[in-house]
Homo-oligomer: A and B are copies of this chain.
């Protein structure tokens, strides 16, 4: 028996004027219902997984049509597109609806595939790719929640910006990776809950040093 079969997500009154909506990994029928209950959001991101891709494809495809950003991992992107080449898979996924696809590679970071509709400022890129690293860590205590922490950092940074420019998306990718790197350092949400803004900004600098030539 599916214990979630009768689950009906209710959007609290205080959330109804949110401008940014993240549809975490759950039955696409529910994702779509939440999406439709919030018609005035500015940006919608979503997550999904192998189970929905394989056995609930029709419902998932309806959700994808309404997404600005899809965040999934390598295996999911390849499965969704039916193509093992990541670039071709990304192009196929973008054709299904999302303006931007972010593919998470676990300890190897994440890659963003942008389309001509990714940004609020027009005409800056036709098709473009950006890679953010993951931080090599001496100890990974609990990888659970790394992907959702990435989504939180990524989306939280975008929500703080007035314009969704390519530069904002790049920095958002770094903030996502920063939050993912903290999440895995302790069990559950322990590390994230204890986090200060200074620690986040300091680690952002570490990520820059990890990747930048100068």
Residues of A bordering B, CB below 8 Å: 85-88, 90, 105, 107-109, 111, 128-131, 133, 136-140, 167, 170-171, 174, 208-214
CB distance from A22 to the nearest CB of B (A): 23
Given A85-B139, A86-B107, A87-B138: A170 and B213 interface contact (C-beta under 8 Å): yes
B85 adjacent to A211 (CB under 8 Å):
no
Q: With a CB–CB cut-off of 8 A, which chain B residues contact A90?
A: 136
Residues on B with beta carbons closer than 8 Å to the beta carbon of A210: 129-131
Taking a contact as CB atoms under 8 Å apart, the answer to whether A213 and B86 are in contact is: no
Tell me what chain A mostly uses at the interface: helix, strand, loop, or mixed: mixed
Taken together, the copies of this chain in the complex come to: 2
Is the CB–CB distance between B167 and A214 below 8 Å?
A: yes
Q: Which of B88, B131, B136 touches A86 (beta carbons < 8 Å)?
A: B136
Given A131-B211, A213-B174, A136 contacting B111 (CB threshold 8 A): yes
How many Å from the CB of A126 to the closest CB on chain B? 13
Contacts of A138 in B (CB 8 A): 85, 87-88
How far is B213's CA from A133's CA once the two chains are assembled, in angstroms?
12
User: Which residues on the B side are within 8 Å of A140 (C-beta)?
Assistant: 85
- A87 adjacent to B137 (CB under 8 Å): yes
Q: Which of B111, B136, B209, B213 contacts A87 (CB 8 A)?
A: B136
Min CB distance A153 to B, Å, is 15
**Chain B residues whose C-beta falls within 8 Å of the C-beta of A170 in the assembled complex:** 213
Tell me how far the C-beta of A169 lies from the nearest C-beta in chain B, rounded to whole angstroms: 10
Q: When chains A and B are docked, how far (Å) is the Cα of A140 from the Cα of B87?
A: 11
Among the listed B88, B105, B129, B171, which residue makes an inter-chain contact with A213, where contact means beta carbons less than 8 Å apart?
Answer: B171
Contact status B129-A131, CB under 8 Å: no
Chain B residue nearest in CB terms to A88: B138
Which of A88, A131, A170, A210 neighbours the largest number of chain B CB atoms within 10 Å of its CB?
A131
